[in-house]
Structure 1
Amino acid sequence: MSEKKILVSGCLFGWHCRYDDGDTPCLHPQFLKWKEEGRLIPVCPEVFGGLPTPRPDCQRTGDKVMSCAGGDCTEQYTKGANEALRLAKENDVALCIMKEDSPSCGSTHIYDGTFTDTIIEGQGLAVEYLRNAGYKVFSENMIEEVIKALAK
């Protein structure tokens, strides 16, 4: 397996950057090995887009990202998505592991925008930008698939 870099959501890396000031570290042994080897490039599109921690919960609805308080956060999410893409290119990452369900980083599922804890098929804005640029994006629940993709 080559020593290629992997773009990862900051909360999976262990940063306290979630909207609620929490983290959701990925504890898969292979993920921790990549972290130890210095192969992970962490990014929090929301913080890098200018949003504070903690911040109001946001959900994606169509092309917009709205906060639970009714504010439009699309501009910050777009800025963060562009920063995630810039980091991926700058670090020549092989692929990305992003936090499932997030309005930025969800790769297969996101919340539906109603703030009723309803999860739907979809992708976060940063993931959309990364995929449109040709990057393969996986969730933290797909480490085995990541291992196979890196072996190719």
Structure 2
Amino acid sequence: MYIVSGCLAGLCCRYDGGDNADERVMQLVSEGKAIPVCPEQLGGLTTPRPPCEIVEGKVLSDQGEDVTELFWRGAEEALKLAKLAGSKKAILKARSPSCGIGKIYDGTFGGNLIDGDGLFAAMLRKEGFELETE
């Protein structure tokens, strides 16, 4: 069983209210082989919401609001769901402050990438999950 980013499963949960539908991920969900989650929504953030990036260990909106606590809460709730499902694999949205694997935006909101993981991805990695992006 996979845990997948909700936006990749076609759910309109991106920060801008859109999705990042990926045919392979949608197929896994339709076959009952994957469970979609959106850590940001699970943490209490609205959709749409301001874009956010990780800046010096904190998650900040492009308006300077510190939403780190909501991101952590959502990552913890999504991890609970992953464990309940017996999952050990995840397909997550690249570059996201929640789900990015290996590369995330640098916090300048200029589209620049740095090495690092989003909060949910880091939590899953620590728990020994196999991680991949779309």
Greater C-alpha Rg: 1
Q: Which runs of 5+ in 1 are unaligned?
A: 141-152
CA contact (8 A) 2:40 2:74 kept: yes
Report the counterpart of residue 137 of structure 1 in structure 2. 131
Cα RMSD after superposing both structures:
1.0
2:120 paired with 1:126: yes
Shift of 1:97: 0.3
Shift of 1:108: 1.8
Shift of 1:36: 2.2
Structure 2 CA distance, aligned partners of 1:42 and 1:80?
13
TM-score norm. by structure 2 comes to: 0.95
2:64 paired with 1:48: no
Report the counterpart of residue 20 of structure 1 in structure 2. 16
SS at match of 1:83: helix
The residue identity in structure 2 corresponding to 1:26 is D
SS at match of 2:80: helix
Query: CA separation of 1:105/1:61 partners in 2, compared to 1, >3 Å: closer, same or farther?
Result: same
Q: Which runs of 5+ in 2 are unaligned?
A: none
Moved >6 Å (runs of 4+): none
Structure 1 CA distance, aligned partners of 2:30 and 2:36?
13
2:32 paired with 1:38: yes
Report the counterpart of residue 93 of structure 1 in structure 2. 87
SS at match of 1:42: strand
CA contact (8 A) 2:8 2:26 kept: no
